[in-house]
Every structure is written in structure tokens, then in C-alpha cells.
Structure 1
Amino acid sequence: MMGIWELASLLLGLLALQYLKQLWSSRNYPPGPFQLPLVGGVWWVRKKFSQDIFIKLAKQYGNIFTIWLGSYPIVILSGYQAVKEGLIVRSEDFAARPVTPTLKALFKKRGIITSNGHIWKQQRRFGQVTLGKLGVGKKCTEHIVEEAAHQLVEIFTLAKGHPIDPILPISTKIFKVVCAVVFGHQSYFQEEEIEKILEESETGIKFAGTISHILYELFPRLMDRLPTPFRKMRAMVDKRILHLREEIARHKEYQMQNEPQDFTDFYLLQMEKSKNDPDSTYNEDNLVQCILDFLVAGTETSSTTLQWALLLMGVHPEIQDKVYKEMENVLGTSQSICYQDRKKMPYTNAVIHEIMRLKYVFPIGVARRSVKDVTMHGYTIPKGTFVVPDLTSVLLDPKQWETPRDFNPQHFLDKDGQFVAREEFLAFGAGPRVCLGEQLARMEIFLFFTHLLRSFRFYFPEGTDQINQDPLVGFLLHPEAYKICAVPR
């Protein structure tokens, strides 16, 4: 019988062989932080993680480098040229999503954001077509966004100039807009339920990148048997899915007597049309995941951007006043603001784009996966490799922006003060995986921002210490909690 020391020696020997094999297999990958046994190079990143950690690594290893998560290589593309080549020039080569233990356990390769292959193509195409039918980003959905913006103005009005935390009011109203697109009505969730959903979403976002998350990616079978935070999060997701299935059942009853009015109605109709098609991926499981994709991604990104917007307006009152002056000059005595007004307000449009550039809500970009062997800059990126476009490095690239670390609306204005659309502005991504909700997000941010700034002047409460503009680093980059005063104009 093998003694404990012989067993330990055997295990160490196997670990050493696996480590040497990993080092040998990584020789053709782009360089990166030193790899340790079992954990790879993620130890270094986790130890020094910050908003611009990948920008710092690019200065050391080049614009294409590799971070190892255990035995999994993750290739990072940094800077505008490298990201452009990956997302635009080679868009089809990096069109897939990674399938990690966490993503597989939570989302089961369904829906739009995390799916691949035939499922992804059908679901995304249907999403694009259906959002177009619903008029997302156009006049016919503008009244929904405008109504939510008016409701948000009412909440700030009730504060009567006293300090208010803007996070929950903004998130709630954005969530209701997404509900209107998905379910056809904003009142499906009660206020208490919305707060609970937003709290659950925040829990999931905070989980990303934690030690518990990394351990689950490395040792999923072991972690499944332990009472980890991941098990609690999966239970939350399962509970939310159950609630969504109940709403889908109500839609099925309603659909029998009415024309489709929302995304869920159109999807159920497509399920019925495709029920005899063996290639169809239209089913209730994918519908549930599509709804979750819209509710979570559609709420968190826009609401976080607007939180940054109010913070930056408080920090830069001179820019806030200039936006208000432009709105008054363009709109005059008109009380309404429409999305088309952005074309007549170049400075305001530039300020909004600069907010999204400087305070990009993701630490990097959403990961892709190579669908075939790819050679870039002399390095081989094998099929199946995780590829992460660092969009923050693009939006802060000193080769593309005059003052990349400063809040400077002139980045989006020409010498005549007219708005300039910049191809380096990749806040919504690019290629086949570009953000599906981009048009709705743009409309939400513009209308919420302009309604608020036309109604109020924002400033920080008296006695407020210096405002910390550094983000809280997680899956999304939120500002630190703050309160702000909204004084009616």
C-alpha cells in the first residue's frame, strides 16, 4: 500500500509534469505575466487589479498579450489598432463567446449574449428584427422613454433640493423602460420587486472577478459541492427564471386573443410558426434567457452611465451650464425634448459621448472566442482561445484622443463646434457581437440626461469632501455611492 509520502511525491510529480506541459504549450502564445502552477498568471492580475491594469500590462508586453487562468489562455487585445483588427477586420474569426464553467452553469448556452453557433445566430437575428418591429430607437418607443424620464424628474422634484442618492431612481426607471419593450407594460414588477431584482443583479456583478468566481472557474466540480457564494447566486437566478416563466404563461393566454405587442409576444408567435422546424431554436428556455439578457444588460449599463453623468456634471458645473444654455437656445419655450433634437445640440451630444468614453462602464470588453486558428502580429491564437478586447484601452488610447484622461467634450467637436462621430468610439463594441440594445441605450441616455439637466442644476451637498472619481472595480465600473442636490431651474 502506498504511503502518504509516496502519494505526495506522485502528486507533486504529476503537478510538475502538468506545469511543464502548460509552459511548453504556451510558447507560441503572446507573452504575459509569469504563470504559477494551477492558477496560471491570474494571481498577478488579481493582486494588482485596477481599471487600467491591462493598459499597464500592454506597456510591458505589447498590444497583444496573454493571461493564463489556470491552464486556460486569455489573449488580451489592447489599443485601438489591435482591437480594431480583432473586432472589425477579423470579426468573423472572433465571433464566438467563451463557454466557461460559470457561464455554462448560469446561462446554459442559451439566449443571445452567451450563446454560440446556430442558437446564437437565430436568437440574435430574431432579436434584431423584433426590436426593429417594436420601433426600438425610433419615434414609436420614444414616448416610453420620455415618460420614464418625466417620472425621474418628478422624483428629483420631490427631493426639493435636498441631497438625494440617484442610483435607485435611475436604475428603476431604466428597468421599467426595458420591461416595456420585453413585456409591453412597465407595471409588471412592483417597486419592491424591482428593487429586489436590482439588488440581485448587483450581487451577480460583484461576484465577477472575486476569488470565489476564479475558484469556480478552476475547480467547478469541487466548488459545486461546497456552500459557496456561487450556489446562492445560482439559486437567485433559478428563482428569477421561475417568475419569468409565470409571466410568459400569462402572455400565452393574452396572445390567443390579441396581436403581438412586445418582444415576448413576437417570440411566442415565432415559436408557434417554427414548431415543426427541426432546426428551430425558438423555445421557452431561450426566450427566458433572452428576457434575462435584456433586463440585466439593458438596465445596468445605461443606469451606470447616467450615474456617472450626474457625478461629472456636479464636478464640472461650467460644462453643465453650457449644456443648459444650448438646450434653451435650441428648444426655446418648447417644453418637450425629442431624440432628434440631438442633431441640433452638438455640444450636448458631445458631452454625452465624452461621459461614455471617459467613464466606460466595463473594465475591459466582453470576452470572445476564436473560431479557428488565427495569426496576429506574429503570434498564433489557436482555435477556442478566449480573446478579450480591452475597450477601455481604446477609449483612453493617447494615440487617438488629445487628452484621454480628462473630461473633454471637444474630443467630439470639430473646429466649428459641430458634432463629430469618431470611429475610435467603441463603447458599444463592434462586429457581429456589437451591443444589440445600442439604439435603445443611446435614446435612454440622451433623453434622461437632457430632461434632468433642463429641469435642474446639480451640485454636491455643502461640506462634501473632494469627489472620488475612481470607479469601484467589478464586472461593471460603478461610481462610489454619492448624494447630489437637484435645484429646479
Structure 2
Amino acid sequence: MDFGATVILTLVLSVTWLIFSIRRTYKRRKNLPPGPTPLPFLGNVLQLNRKDLPKSFIQLAKVYGDVFTVHLGSRTVVILHGYEAVKEALVENSEAFGDRAKVPGAQIVFKGYGVMISNGERWKQLRRFSLTTLRNFGMGKRSVEERIQEESLCLTEVLRSQAGSPFDPTYLVTLAVSNVICSIVFGQRFDYDDENFLGLLAMLKASFRIRNSIAGLLLNSFPKIIHHLPGPHHEVIRSFQTLQDFVMDKVKEHEKTLDQNSPRDFIDCYLIKKKEEKDNPDTEFNYQNLVATLINIFLAGTETSSTTIRLSLRILLKYPDVLAKVQEEIDQVIGQNRCPSVEDRSKMPYTDAVIHEIHRMADVLPMSVPHATAHTTIFRGYTIPKGTTVFPLLTSVLKDPKHFQNPYEFNPQHFLDENGRFYKKEAFMPFSAGKRMCLGEGMARMEVFLFITSILQRFNLKSDEDPSDIDITPLPNSNSTIHRFFEMCLVPR
């Protein structure tokens, strides 16, 4: 074949492919919610700020309404904006919107195992077991609350050594929160300078950073191409393999010392359940699901709770009048002679309102964890095919002006009535809603309350920054997930 014929054939094939791609894209968009016109292959990637997707989606909602469609490469995504749309989908139509989306990056790492990304019978069995276990059933003599209280004492002792000098609390807070999970999962806490413990956290931190980077977005938008190209996403895959090996070693150690009548932690409870189910051909209690679920718990619990606690301290530095009222309530209800307990929360309406407002402003999962439609469904007159990825835009719920006056301003009065009594608003959804809401919500809320009250019981917070100059918003171009560096000073009370 001569050169001219080769060029003509190439052009014909290119045009054919382009026509096919346009027709396929048009067919895929038929009766979907409205949205910006996608380009073949690329979708809407070039029309979005890939470093700040939540803000891009909020801007698109002003044009296309509270339910609209975008295309991230070949992946069709329906965006739910505002409390009413999210509630209608996740709560009122929980069966239709109750699946977990198949995010390519997560599929590469977990291969469909674990409670976080599985669906169907696997998800039902693992979630039921995880919820029951995390709610203190069958985990030995020490409750989750006692484990958090123990760690809060360890943290405040280490913080005391930092008193008087400016320091960044991020590192120590992350160690403390992770140690709570270690206690629940492995039955032991680690010293803050333990090399294995620090290595574990380093891997988690790296995976979180890359997952929220442009490399992570491109991997999830164009998995068949990006997965085979060099880049930082391969570092995450290697880290997870090392993490899986670490967790499996812990599982083997537990098997050697397991006492079925006295489970010490989550792993023991799982191994007992696995033995009970050994003759069930449909059981999902195997090693792959155990390892993946343990890593899921670490990922879901460490970064979100530690970020919320760290941001709590920064917010309280910015609002010293709020800080003073919280400490006054701590002194009245708890005093200085005992550890805070969960029972105290109901007697501390102002502190409870402040912590709820901190959760709202922290907004640590602005786009939630992606959902998917379990079957083809009609929603607000649109046809959403089975398996379509759905992003419930939680940031638009937590900042919904219909439910929170001046939603971008910190104000504990959002959760207090005219008599100063606490009340929870329906639009408070930092942990999502419906069937897929965070299974660790109870533990996370307990952690934030107990760690914050323990710190404020023992220390005053100081900063060299003027309160009016303290910025509590996330860093620009971080997909609203990375918060600003700051230092603070603790003064023993």
C-alpha cells in the first residue's frame, strides 16, 4: 500500500471512530439529567477545574440544576446537589442509589474485596458484621469509648511536653486517632515512635495525597491508559501491597493466640465468625475480605477524624469567645478530676453544637464516596442506567443556604434553639446518609468529642496569629481536602 492510500485509510478510520464515539456518547446521554456537552473520549475533563472539582460542580449546578450529568473520560457521572436532591436519592430511594461505584483506582487496589467498595451479598455480610463489632458487641471487656479515653490520656501527656512552644498538632493528632483504630483492630496501641506504626501511617498518607491528586483523577477517568503509564499512582499500588502484607502478618499472629471465648479485637471477632461459617458455601468471611476491610477502616477513620480534630483546634483559635464558652461548660459538667465521657455530651448542649458546626465546616468528604445505581431508575423524570456513578455533593448539603443561615460562616447557633438547647438539623450529613452512610460514624463522633474535650480540659489554646487573620478554608486547588498548615501553643490550665 502506497503512502497516499495509507493516509486515506487512516483518515477514514479516524472519522469512523469519531462518528462512532459521538453516536455512542449521544446514546449514553439520552434522557440522562442535563449537563455540559462532552467531547469524545475526553468527556468534560477539560471543562472542569480538575484541582477543585467540588467548586466546579457547584458552579455547574447554577446552570443545570440540582441533578446534572458530567462525563469524566468514558465514565458517566450524575451529580446530586443540595439537601433535597441528596436526601431524595440516598434516603427515599436508597435501594436504587445504594450501590458503591466501581472506581478504577480502588478496584485495582482492592479487587472488589472489603466492606467499602463491595456490593450485593458480600457488602451486606461484611457491613452487618462490621457495624455489630464496632458497636462493642463481642470485642472483649474494653469498649470503644474506653479505648478512646485511654488514647486521649496518652495524647494529652505528650502534648504537655510540647506546652509553651509553638508546634503543628497534625502529626500527634493523626498518631492518636490511628492508635484508636489499631486498638480496635489489632487489640494494641503503639508508641508514637514505633517504626512499624509510623511506616503504616506514611503509607496511608501517601495514598490519600495521590488519590486526591490530578494523577488519581486521570487514573479514574482513563484507567485503561493511565494504569499502564508511569506515574505516582504506582506508588499507591506498591504501598497497598506492603500494607496488605503487614495486616496479613497481624492476622496470622492472631490465629496463633485466638481464644474463641474471649475475643480481643476486630480481627479475633472476624476469625471466630470465619470458623462459624466454614461450612457455608456462600460465606464472604475469607482472608481477602478481612484484609481489605481492615484497610478500609484505617482509610475511612484515620484521615477524616484527625483532620476534623486538627481543624477543631484551628477554628477555636479563630473564635476565642466560642473557646471560652466551651471550656466553661467543660468545667461545669466534667471538672478537672476525671476523664470526659460520652454521657457528658447530653449535658453539654453548647459544646455539642460547636462540634456539630465543626463537622459541618470541616466538610472532609465534599463529594462523599461515589455511589452507583443498583438498577436502571427514573429519578426526577430522568432515566439513570444501572451502574451509573453518582456523586452526592455533601459539601452542597452542609452549606445549603435553605438549611443553614450564612452557610460559609462558622456559627454554633445553627444547632441551638432559642432556649440554648441542642438540636440536630436534617441537613447535617458529614457522614453521608442512607444505606451507605459511614459505618464508623458513631466512633468518629465519639473520638472528636472525647479528644477535643480532653485537650480543652487541660490546656488553653494560644496562637501568634491574630484571630481575624486565621483562615479556616481548605487550600486552593486541593479538591477542598487539604487544610492549611498552622502552629499553636498550649498553656496548661
TM-score range relative to shorter protein = over 0.9
Post-superposition offset of 1:164: 0.8
User: Does 1:280 pair with 2:283?
Assistant: yes
Question: Deviations 1:94-150 (Å, cap 9, x if unpaired)?
Answer: 1111113222111111111111111101111111122234489x9832221111111
List 4+ stretches of structure 1 deviating above 6 A: none
Write the mapping of 1:370-389 to structure 2, written as runs, cut at 5 A. 370-389=373-392
Q: 76, 80, 84: which one pairs with 2:79?
A: 76
Q: 99, 103, 113: which one pairs with 1:100?
A: 103
Q: Which stretch shifts more, 471-480 or 16-25?
A: 471-480
Corresponding residue of 2:485:
481
Structure 1 contact 205–475 (Cα < 8 Å) conserved: no
Cα gap change, 1:164/1:332 in structure 2, threshold over 3 Å: closer, same or farther?
A: same
Structure 1 contact 208–475 (Cα < 8 Å) conserved: no
Secondary structure of 1:394's partner? helix
Corresponding residue of 1:211:
214
Q: 233, 237, 242: which one pairs with 2:236?
A: 233
Give the Cα separation in 1 of the matches to 2:55 and 2:227.
Answer: 32
Give the Cα separation in 1 of the matches to 2:377 and 2:484.
Answer: 40
Write the mapping of 1:156-171 to structure 2, written as runs, cut at 5 A. 156-171=159-174
User: Does 1:110 pair with 2:113?
Assistant: yes
Give the Cα separation in 2 of the matches to 1:464 and 1:309.
Answer: 14
Q: 429, 441, 449: which one pairs with 1:438?
A: 441
Q: 266, 269, 289: which one pairs with 1:266?
A: 269
Cα gap change, 1:50/1:213 in structure 2, threshold over 3 Å: closer, same or farther?
A: closer
Secondary structure of 1:130's partner? helix
Write the mapping of 1:351-370 to structure 2, written as runs, cut at 5 A. 351-370=354-373
Question: Deviations 1:236-290 (Å, cap 9, x if unpaired)?
Answer: 1001101111110000001058621111001111111111111001100100011
Corresponding residue of 2:63:
60
Structure 1 contact 304–361 (Cα < 8 Å) conserved: yes
Cα gap change, 1:64/1:396 in structure 2, threshold over 3 Å: closer, same or farther?
A: same
- Aligned-partner residue type, residue 434 of structure 1: M
Post-superposition offset of 1:323: 0.5
Corresponding residue of 2:344:
341
CA RMSD of aligned residues (A): 2.2
Cα gap change, 1:258/1:318 in structure 2, threshold over 3 Å: closer, same or farther?
A: same
Structure 2 contact 190–197 (Cα < 8 Å) conserved: no
Give the Cα separation in 1 of the matches to 2:334 and 2:127.
Answer: 38
The runs of 5 or more residues in structure 2 that have no matched partner are none
Corresponding residue of 2:25:
22
User: Does 1:199 pair with 2:202?
Assistant: yes
Structure 1 contact 363–474 (Cα < 8 Å) conserved: no
- Aligned-partner residue type, residue 388 of structure 1: F
Secondary structure of 1:3's partner? helix
Give the Cα separation in 1 of the matches to 2:237 and 2:458.
Answer: 42
Cα gap change, 1:254/1:400 in structure 2, threshold over 3 Å: closer, same or farther?
A: same
Secondary structure of 2:135's partner? helix
Cα gap change, 1:4/1:189 in structure 2, threshold over 3 Å: closer, same or farther?
A: farther
Post-superposition offset of 1:185: 1.1
Cα gap change, 1:222/1:424 in structure 2, threshold over 3 Å: closer, same or farther?
A: closer
Post-superposition offset of 1:52: 3.1
Cα gap change, 1:260/1:81 in structure 2, threshold over 3 Å: closer, same or farther?
A: same
**Percent identical:** 38
Secondary structure of 1:366's partner? coil
Structure 1 contact 307–479 (Cα < 8 Å) conserved: no
Corresponding residue of 1:304:
307
Give the Cα separation in 2 of the matches to 1:256 and 1:399.
Answer: 54
Corresponding residue of 2:399:
396
Structure 1 contact 206–475 (Cα < 8 Å) conserved: no
Secondary structure of 1:32's partner? coil
Cα gap change, 1:465/1:336 in structure 2, threshold over 3 Å: closer, same or farther?
A: closer
Give the Cα separation in 1 of the matches to 2:300 and 2:222.
Answer: 27
The runs of 5 or more residues in structure 1 that have no matched partner are none
Corresponding residue of 2:185:
182
Secondary structure of 2:100's partner? coil
Post-superposition offset of 1:487: 1.4
Structure 2 contact 203–243 (Cα < 8 Å) conserved: no
Give the Cα separation in 2 of the matches to 1:49 and 1:463.
Answer: 28
Give the Cα separation in 1 of the matches to 2:377 and 2:171.
Answer: 44
Q: 432, 436, 455: which one pairs with 2:458?
A: 455
Give the Cα separation in 1 of the matches to 2:204 and 2:154.
Answer: 23
Question: Deviations 1:358-411 (Å, cap 9, x if unpaired)?
Answer: 121012211111011211222111111111111110110000112211100000
Structure 2 contact 149–339 (Cα < 8 Å) conserved: no
Give the Cα separation in 1 of the matches to 2:282 and 2:332.
Answer: 56
Write the mapping of 1:6-17 to structure 2, written as runs, cut at 5 A. 6-17=9-20
Q: 153, 158, 162: which one pairs with 2:156?
A: 153
User: Does 1:42 pair with 2:35?
Assistant: no
Post-superposition offset of 1:33: 2.3
Q: Which stretch shifts more, 4-13 or 337-346?
A: 4-13
Cα gap change, 1:224/1:152 in structure 2, threshold over 3 Å: closer, same or farther?
A: same
Post-superposition offset of 1:16: 3.3
Give the Cα separation in 1 of the matches to 2:426 and 2:225.
Answer: 45
Give the Cα separation in 2 of the matches to 1:190 and 1:455.
Answer: 24
User: Does 1:421 pair with 2:424?
Assistant: yes
Structure 1 contact 134–181 (Cα < 8 Å) conserved: no
Give the Cα separation in 2 of the matches to 1:475 and 1:129.
Answer: 33
Secondary structure of 1:435's partner? coil
Q: 439, 444, 468: which one pairs with 2:471?
A: 468
Give the Cα separation in 1 of the matches to 2:462 and 2:58.
Answer: 33
Aligned length: 488
Secondary structure of 1:115's partner? coil
Q: TM-score, normalised on structure 1?
A: 0.94
